[in-house]
Structure 1
Amino acid sequence: MELGLTGRTALVCASSRGLGRACALELARAGCTVVINGRDAEALEATARDIRAETGARVVPVLADIATREGQDAAIGAAPEIDILVTNNGGPPFRDFRAVDREAMLAGVVGNMITPIELVQRLIDGMVDRRFGRIVNITSASVKMPLAGLDLSSGARAGLTGFLAGVARSVAHANVTINFLLPGSFDTRRLQSGLERQAQSRGVDVAAVRREEEASIPARRIGTPAEFGAACAFLCSAQAGYITGQSLLIDGGAYPGVL
Structure 2
Amino acid sequence: MDLGLRGRKAIVCASSRGLGKGCAMALAEAGCDLVINGRNEATLTATAEEIRDRFQVSVTTVVADVSTAEGQKTLLAACPTPDILVNNNGGPPRRDYTELDRPSMLDGVVQNMVTPIELIQAVLPTMMDQGFGRIVNITSLSVKMPIEGLDLSSGARAGLTAFLAGVARQIAGSGVTVNNILPGKMDTDRLKGGFERSAAASGKSIDQVRAEQAAEIPTGRFGTAEEFGQTCAFLCSVHAGYMTGQNVLLDGGLYQAAF
Class of the TM-score when normalised by the shorter of the 2 chains: over 0.9
Q: How far apart are 1:98 and its partner, in Å?
A: 0.1
Greater mean alpha carbon deviation, residues 93-102 or residues 75-84: 75-84
Question: Which residue number in structure 1 is paired with residue 249 of structure 2?
Answer: 249
Q: Deviations over 1:34-93 (max 9, x none)?
A: 100000000000000001111111110100110011111111111242010000001111
User: What corresponds to 2:182 in structure 1?
Assistant: 182
The corresponding residue for 1:44 is: 44
1:184-224 C-alpha deviation (Å, 9 max, x unpaired): 01110000000110000111100000000110000000111
- Residues in 1 aligned to 2:80 and 2:28: alpha-carbon distance in whole angstroms: 17
| Structure 1 position 26 matched with structure 2 position 26 | yes
CA distance in 2, matches of 1:201, 1:119: 39
Contiguous gaps of at least 5 residues in structure 1: none
- Residue in structure 2 matched with residue 70 of structure 1 by the alignment: 70
RMSD, aligned CA? 0.6
Counterpart of 2:201 in 1: which secondary structure?
Answer: helix
- Cα distance between partner residues in 2 of 1:186 and 1:80: 31
Identity of aligned residues (%): 59
Report the counterpart of residue 199 of structure 2 in structure 1.
199
Task: Could you list the structure 1 runs, at least 4 aligned residues long, displaced by more than 3 angstroms after superposition.
Answer: none
How much does 1:182 deviate? 0.2
Q: How does 1:47-58 map to 2 (within 5 A)?
A: 47-58=47-58
User: Structure 2 CA distance, aligned partners of 1:21 and 1:218?
Assistant: 26
Do structure 1's residue 132 and structure 2's residue 117 form an aligned pair?
no
Q: Which amino acid aligns with 1:69?
A: A
Post-superposition offset of 1:122: 0.5
**Residue 107 of structure 1 corresponds to which residue in structure 2?**
107
The number of equivalent residue pairs is: 259
Take 1:17 and 1:126, find their aligned partners in 2: how far apart are those partners? 28
- Tell me what 1:224 maps to: 224
For the residue of structure 1 that corresponds to 2:179, the secondary structure is strand
The answer for unaligned runs of 5 or more in structure 2 is none
* TM-score, normalising length: structure 1: 0.99
The one-letter code sitting in structure 1 at the alignment partner of 2:107 is: A
State the SS of the aligned residue for 2:209: helix
Name the CA distance, whole Å, in 2 between partners of 1:19 and 1:102. 29
Amino acid at match of 2:15: S
1:91-113 deviations in whole A, cap 9, x for unaligned? Answer: 11111100011111000000000
Q: Secondary structure at the match of 1:77?
A: helix
Letter in structure 1 aligned against 2:187 = D
Instruction: Provide the secondary structure at the position in 1 that maps to 2:178.
Output: strand
